[in-house]
């Protein structure tokens, strides 16, 4: 059964304190792994797509990496505006559905 | 203007009532999805459609139905609403991947539905 587990559920960081969020997945043939950012009361906003182990993507203070079993979202020197819930999703080659994790709620304290 | 819009944004209804949530998109995407989001459960797929004549059940379709009226419009109906359908509902779109290059989803702002 395809599934996605994100950890930790919540993370509090001081401004400038770098850390990583984890997304572990089980899928029968990975078509793609997706990272989204969700602000309170809003829909998820696309950040990255990763397709194969070893791939990395960067955007500002965020860097996403992928192995055969998990993905990491690294946040370097975070700022308060990075506070949000970060969602991970996977799509398998068999079937066309996306499976989402429950997210990591990140709070960056000034 | 937003690329993916949802109406209404908030709705309070009573048990047993029929409710329709509407989604429209101007992105020109062929694929549309309906999700619900519950605290601690994440986003779960209700239905998805890859074109006007294609409708597929998702993970949790019981108690819901959909209609794809046009490429740009995808409606979700709750035939007889019940309290455990209280949730945040999101519509999303994606474009048919070209060589597997891009398949990300674009989400609407959500509809908060409360069933009393």
Provide mean pLDDT across the span A76-83: 97
CA nearest to A64, candidates A52, A77, A55: A55
Structure tokens at A99: 């499976």
B11-45 exposure pattern, b = at least 16 Cβ within 10 A, e = fewer = bebeeeeebebbbbbeeebebbbbbbbeeeebbeb
Structure tokens at B42: 């994440």
User: Contacts of residue B9 in chain A, CB cutoff 8 Å?
Assistant: none
Residues sharing a CB contact under 8 Å with residue A109, sequence separation 6 or more, in sequence order: A12, A13, A14, A15, A80
**Is residue B89 within 8 Å of residue B110, measured between CB atoms?**
yes
Cβ-based neighbour number of residue B96 at 10 Å: 11
Shortest alpha-carbon distance between residue A56 and chain B (Å)? 15
State the pLDDT confidence band at B4, using cuts at 50, 70 and 90. Answer: very high
B113 vs A: CB within 8 A = no
Check B44 against A100: CB less than 8 A apart.
yes
Q: CA geometry: angle at B55 spanning B91 and B105, to 5°?
A: 35
- Give the Å distances, CA to CA, from B11 to A55, B6, B112: 42, 12, 6
State the pLDDT confidence band at A61, using cuts at 50, 70 and 90. Answer: very high
User: Contacts of residue A7 in chain B, CB cutoff 8 Å?
Assistant: none
C-alpha torsion B72→A91→B19→B62, nearest 10: 140
- Give the Å distances, CA to CA, from A24 to A35, A100, A105, B36, B39: 12, 11, 16, 22, 20
User: Contacts of residue A36 in chain B, CB cutoff 8 Å?
Assistant: 107
Provide mean pLDDT across the span B81-104: 81
Residue A74 has pLDDT above 60, yes or no: yes
Check B56 against A96: CB less than 8 A apart.
yes
Closest residue, chain A, to B108 (C-alpha)? A43
Q: What is the mean pLDDT of chain B?
A: 91
User: Contacts of residue B92 in chain A, CB cutoff 8 Å?
Assistant: 43
Shortest alpha-carbon distance between residue B51 and chain A (Å)? 13
Provide mean pLDDT across the span B54-75: 94
Closest residue, chain B, to A98 (C-alpha)? B45
User: Contacts of residue B58 in chain A, CB cutoff 8 Å?
Assistant: 97
Check A100 against B100: CB less than 8 A apart.
no
Residue B98 has pLDDT above 80, yes or no: no
**Is residue A9 within 8 Å of residue A102, measured between CB atoms?**
yes
- Give the Å distances, CA to CA, from A70 to A26, A32, A103, B104: 9, 12, 14, 18
Q: What's the CA gap between A49 and A66, in Å, rounded?
A: 10
């Amino acid at each position: 059964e395809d599934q996605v587990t994100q950890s930790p559920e919540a993370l509090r960081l001081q401004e400038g304190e770098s850390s990583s969020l984890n997304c572990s997945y089980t899928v029968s043939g990975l078509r793609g792994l997706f990272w989204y950012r969700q602000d309170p009361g809003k829909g998820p906003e696309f950040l990255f797509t990763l397709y194969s182990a070893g791939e990395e993507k960067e955007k500002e203070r965020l860097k996403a990496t992928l192995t055969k079993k998990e993905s990491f979202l690294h946040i370097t020197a975070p700022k308060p505006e990075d506070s949000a819930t970060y969602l991970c999703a996977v799509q398998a080659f068999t079937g066309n559905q996306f499976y989402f994790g429950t997210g990591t709620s990140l709070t960056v304290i000034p | 203007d937003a690329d993916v819009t949802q109406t209404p944004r908030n709705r309070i209804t009573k048990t047993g009532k029929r409710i329709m949530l509407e989604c429209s998109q101007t992105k020109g995407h062929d694929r549309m999805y309906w999700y619900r989001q519950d605290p601690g459960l994440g986003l779960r797929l209700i239905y998805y459609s890859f074109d006007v004549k294609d409708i597929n059940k998702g993970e949790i379709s019981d108690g819901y139905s959909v209609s794809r009226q046009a490429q740009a419009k995808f409606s979700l109906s709750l035939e007889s609403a019940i309290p455990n359908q209280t949730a945040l509902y999101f519509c999303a779109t994606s474009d048919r991947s070209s060589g597997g290059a891009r398949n990300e989803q674009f989400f609407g702002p959500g509809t908060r539905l409360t069933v009393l």
